[in-house]
Amino acid sequence: MASSVVEEKLLENAGSRQVSLPISRVKLIMKSSPDVSSINQDALFLTAKATELFVQYLASYSYKKGTGKEKKTLIYSDLAKAAEESEQFQFLSDFLKDTTVVSMTVLY
């Protein structure tokens, strides 16, 4: 039931004209590309909205598949696991590495 509530919220937010991400930052990131000379306001809004929806989807997917459900938290390893195991997030696997530290005993 919780997943359907999350999906309903995503759909509600998809139709709104408001964006949670700061437009000025999105514009700054877009202008950092040497291929971009000017940015149309509609393109700026759509890029910000698409990014926002992608981050929401990644977070909800990672939360559903992750280990933090008991504590109602999303942790970094949940994101890394989603990137590693899901084909749709595979392109993030180089950026979201699982940071589990393995202790080793060195024998001399």
76 assigned to some structural domain: yes
21 assigned to some structural domain: yes
Sign of CA dihedral 22, 89, 46, 8: negative
**Both tokens of residue 11?**
């759909």
49 assigned to some structural domain: yes
Predicted local confidence at residue 20, as pLDDT: 86
More confident position, 51 or 14: 51
Q: How many residues does the chain have?
A: 108
Q: What pTM did the predictor assign?
A: 0.69
53 assigned to some structural domain: yes
For helices 41-65 and 2-14, give the axis angle rounded to 10 degrees: 180
Average pLDDT, the chain: 80
In the predicted model, what is the mean pLDDT of residues 23-47?
A: 92
CATH number at residue 46: 1.10.20.10
| Residues 20 and 51 sit within 8 Å (Cβ to Cβ) | no
78 assigned to some structural domain: yes
Show contacts of 58-67: CB within 8 Å, 24+ apart. Answer: 58/82, 58/89, 58/92, 60/3, 60/6, 60/7, 60/10, 61/86, 61/89, 64/3
Predicted local confidence at residue 65, as pLDDT: 85
98 assigned to some structural domain: no
Identity of the amino acid at 83: A
The span from the CA of 102 to the CA of 105, in Å, is 10
More confident position, 103 or 5: 5
pLDDT in tens, 47-71: 999 999 999 999 999 988 887 667 7
Q: Going by C-beta distance under 8 Å and a sequence separation of 6 or more, which residues neighbour residue 36?
A: 30
